[in-house]
Amino acid sequence: MRANEVPTEEIRRDPAAFADRVTADGRLDRRAEAGRYRLVVNRACPWAHRVVITRRLMGLERAVSLAVTDPRQEIIGGEPHWVFTEETGSPGGLDPVLGIHALREAYLARDPGYTGGVSVPGLVDVESGHLVSNDYDRLALDMATEWGGLVRDGAPDLYPEPLREEIDAVGAEVYRDLNNGVYRAGFAPDQEHYDAAVGAVFDRLDALEERLSGQRYLVGDTVTMADVRLFPTLVRFDPVYHGHFKCNVRKLSEYPALWAYARDLFQTPGFGDTVEFDHIRVHYYWVHTGINPTRVVARGPDPRGWLAPHDRAALGGTPFGTGTAPGPVPAGERVPAPA
């Protein structure tokens, strides 16, 4: 979708253009090796965010370097593209490791004839400069389960086998109605599509409120991929989805259990320390000129509310089970704290 257009049909997401699997033993497509890959993301993108959270929870920061693009996309060849700029720490507008200005260059290095869209996250092979995968869900799952000895000691089991069916079932509902539902509402081509989409968004939020009133996490007694998939949408809800995407029946902060659950995760290492609210607000309000032609960026809401006590520990469970919290955020990856 072009940055300055609203789609004339209901939004649908294309399957990943490149989806090589990375595993510890290389039995599928590629082998997990420290220093071999660079993860290109934008901190505004919820799909990239779940991979960033997984990478941090699993302690893969030293194994897989991180490249952050500018929240303002650049129009190249008539299409919006994720690019590196001086403002986001890339001297000369080039990523210091890959030497590229736009992520599309890694796509074209992999396939010179590629004409499809470019999305984040993108896992790039450092030596060849080729894109390995832009399959956000598979990237996160593989980092959680397939990277073997490269993960940190004490890393949590985000995808425990006994709970996988439930995790995936919950994730499918959340994706359909909420993760993607907010986009279906925001880019609805007419009233009928908007009403259906926004109705599904709040039906799902209502169901999550009921579910989380009696349990600390979505599935089981610890953080799992179900929580990793939900959190990026929740943390963007009041800043951009409520106003910018017209999902304004209620705010997240008006759901007692869901808002406390979101704060609990935000205050858990690996979640809130990967959130950059300025990038989120700037990207959505700047790029989507079809629904915000003035590019005026909303100021609120006050992010300090995310640090308020949540009292969720009384429901039982611990975030990492028998594991431990990840260590400090690497110096080059720290995001501003709510202030």
Any domain includes 3: no
Tell me, what's the pLDDT at 159? 98
Judge if 90 and 196 occupy the same domain.
no
Indicate whether 38 pLDDT > 60. yes
Any domain includes 14: no
**Distance separating alpha carbons of residues 186 and 55, to the nearest angstrom:** 29
Catalytic residue (one of 37, 107, 159, 183) = 183
The 10s digit of each residue's pLDDT in 254-287 is: 999 999 999 999 999 999 999 999 999 999 999 9
Judge if 137 and 181 occupy the same domain.
no
The 10s digit of each residue's pLDDT in 215-225 is: 999 999 999 99
Judge if 166 and 312 occupy the same domain.
yes
Judge if 188 and 226 occupy the same domain.
yes
Please count the structural domains in the chain. 2
Indicate whether 173 pLDDT > 70. yes
| Percentage with pLDDT > 90 across the chain | 94
Question: Tokens for 4?
Answer: 């300055």
Asked about 247 being catalytic, the answer comes back as: no
Instruction: Evaluate the omega torsion of the peptide bond into residue 96 and state whether it is cis, within 30 degrees of 0.
Output: no
- CATH number of the domain within which 26 lies: 3.40.30.10
Contact residues for 44 (Cβ-Cβ < 8 A; gap 6+): 71, 276, 279, 280, 282, 283, 284
**Distance separating alpha carbons of residues 258 and 186, to the nearest angstrom:** 22
Residue 82 assigned ligand-binding role: yes
Indicate whether 10 pLDDT > 70. no
**Distance separating alpha carbons of residues 198 and 161, to the nearest angstrom:** 33
pTM attached to this predicted model: 0.96
Radius of gyration of the chain (CA): 19
Judge if 141 and 240 occupy the same domain.
no
Instruction: Return the H-helix or E-strand segment holding 333.
Output: none
Catalytic residue (one of 45, 136, 217, 284) = 45
Tell me, what's the pLDDT at 12? 62
pLDDT mean over 295-314: 97
Indicate whether 212 pLDDT > 90. yes
Indicate whether 17 pLDDT > 90. no
Q: Is 304 buried (19+), middle (13-18) or exposed (0-12) by CB count in 10 A?
A: exposed
**Domain assignment of residue 84, given as a range:** 22-150
Judge if 167 and 313 occupy the same domain.
yes
Judge if 210 and 243 occupy the same domain.
yes
Range in 4-8, 61-65, 75-79, 198-202 the model is least confident about: 4-8
Distance of CA 212 to the CA centre of its chain: 21
